[in-house]
């Protein structure tokens, strides 16, 4: 899930609407030209450990030219973005009990509209600003709800690699927001899916590496779906893998899913990676996943995303 919507279901026109056009004051990454120059696809070159010819390869976003990282204030300005939105929070629970592992921030319309209605307003021209605004909004709202007071609980933020120019500059507003709202930055988790719009794994891994060095928790979202699979895991080992709901749905009735998840769980244990099961809707799914060692789970069985409060599980009485 990216901003609460599976990118596989994100309208493709978001990524391609402005392709081939130039807009005054904005620039595209030179990634494509550089890749052609090198003659080896960046993804392949990265896997082979070859030096990368391009320092900043996101392809589908227009960045301000000259590039200037937005600050916290700027990212809170809805007028500058062109539309406003809010965040719902859904817990990732520990089925063995205790405080939740994290709350994931999921984008919503101001009147509770689904993520799709918000994401429909995101295009090549505002993707960078939207990504930055999502981080600031998530941190501000979570801090206001007291998430930092829940022992060990993390705030999980989805991000779009294509919206990041360079990791070191695009993190500025995130850190400013943490300082302003009193949220500990080491409790931030960044989850990303290698969806169809992430055309360059090397860029994604560069961001993850930078985030890891900063002490953030890194997570691959939707693992087992689309492109978020073994190739990415073989190249980069995050702190967390979120098992896609395609793998967890009806797992209690699917020997194939059981075999796959058991294998992933074994690999995760050897790589010291924490597994999270997504999209859990039944007690049978929960229990089967738990039998494979997956303690941390997320889904409607536990709590739906809620705006304006952090839902507890089990609900306090």
Q: By CB under 5 A, name the binding residues for Ca ion.
A: 1, 158, 191, 221
Minimum CB–partner distance for residue 244 and Ca ion (Å): 10
Query: In angstroms, rounded to a whole number, what is the distance separating the alpha carbons of residues 287 and 298?
Result: 13
Query: In angstroms, rounded to a whole number, what is the distance separating the alpha carbons of residues 291 and 278?
Result: 15
Residue (228 or 301) nearer to Ca ion, CB: 228
Residue (59 or 192) nearer to Ca ion, CB: 192
Count other Cβ atoms within 10 Å, centred on residue 316.
5
Residue (31 or 105) nearer to Ca ion, CB: 105
Q: How far is CA 185 from CA 60, 154, 164, 315, in A?
A: 28, 9, 19, 27
Are 297 and 289 contacting, i.e. CB atoms less than 8 angstroms apart?
Answer: yes
DSSP codes, 33-73: HHHHHH-S-HHHHHHTTPPPS-S----S--EESS-----HH
Q: How far is CA 314 from CA 22, 98, 100, 298, in A?
A: 52, 9, 10, 13
Query: In angstroms, rounded to a whole number, what is the distance separating the alpha carbons of residues 21 and 131?
Result: 22
Minimum CB–partner distance for residue 16 and Ca ion (Å): 23
Minimum CB–partner distance for residue 90 and Ca ion (Å): 9
Minimum CB–partner distance for residue 206 and Ca ion (Å): 20
Instruction: Report the residue closest to Ca ion, judged by CB.
Output: 1
Residue (52 or 132) nearer to Ca ion, CB: 132
Minimum CB–partner distance for residue 75 and Ca ion (Å): 20
Residue 315 is classified by DSSP as P
What b/e readout covers 250-262, taking b as 16+ CB neighbours within 10 angstroms?
ebbeeeebbeebe
Minimum CB–partner distance for residue 1 and Ca ion (Å): 3
């Amino acid at each position: 899930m990216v901003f609460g919507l599976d990118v596989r279901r994100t309208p493709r026109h978001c990524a391609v609407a402005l392709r081939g056009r130039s807009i005054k004051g904005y620039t595209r990454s030179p990634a494509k030209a550089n890749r052609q120059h090198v003659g080896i696809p960046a993804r392949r070159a990265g896997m082979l450990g070859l030096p990368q010819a391009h320092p900043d390869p996101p392809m589908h976003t227009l960045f301000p030219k000259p590039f200037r990282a937005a600050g916290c204030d700027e990212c809170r300005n809805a007028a500058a973005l062109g539309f406003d939105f809010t965040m719902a929070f859904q817990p990732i629970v520990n089925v063995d009990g205790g405080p939740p592992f994290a709350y994931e921030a999921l984008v919503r319309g101001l009147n509770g509209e689904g993520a799709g209605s918000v994401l429909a307003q995101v295009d090549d021209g505002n993707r960078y600003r939207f990504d930055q605004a999502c981080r600031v909004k998530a941190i501000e709202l979570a801090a206001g709800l007291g998430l930092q007071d829940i022992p060990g609980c993390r705030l999980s933020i989805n991000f779009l690699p294509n919206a990041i120019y360079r990791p070191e500059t695009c993190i500025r507003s995130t850190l400013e927001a943490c300082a302003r709202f009193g949220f500990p930055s080491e409790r931030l988790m960044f989850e990303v899916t290698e969806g169809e719009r992430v055309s360059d794994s090397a860029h994604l891994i560069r961001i993850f590496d930078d985030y890891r060095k900063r002490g953030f928790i890194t997570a691959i979202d939707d693992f087992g779906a689309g492109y978020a699979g073994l190739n990415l895991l073989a190249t980069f080992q995050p702190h967390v893998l979120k098992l896609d709901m395609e793998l967890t749905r009806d797992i209690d009735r699917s020997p194939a899913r059981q075999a796959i998840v058991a294998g992933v769980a074994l690999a995760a244990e050897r790589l010291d990676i924490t597994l999270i099961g997504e999209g859990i809707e039944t007690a049978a799914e929960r229990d089967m996943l738990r039998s494979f060692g997956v303690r941390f789970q997320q889904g409607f069985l536990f709590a739906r995303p809620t705006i304006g409060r952090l839902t507890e599980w089990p609900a306090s009485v």
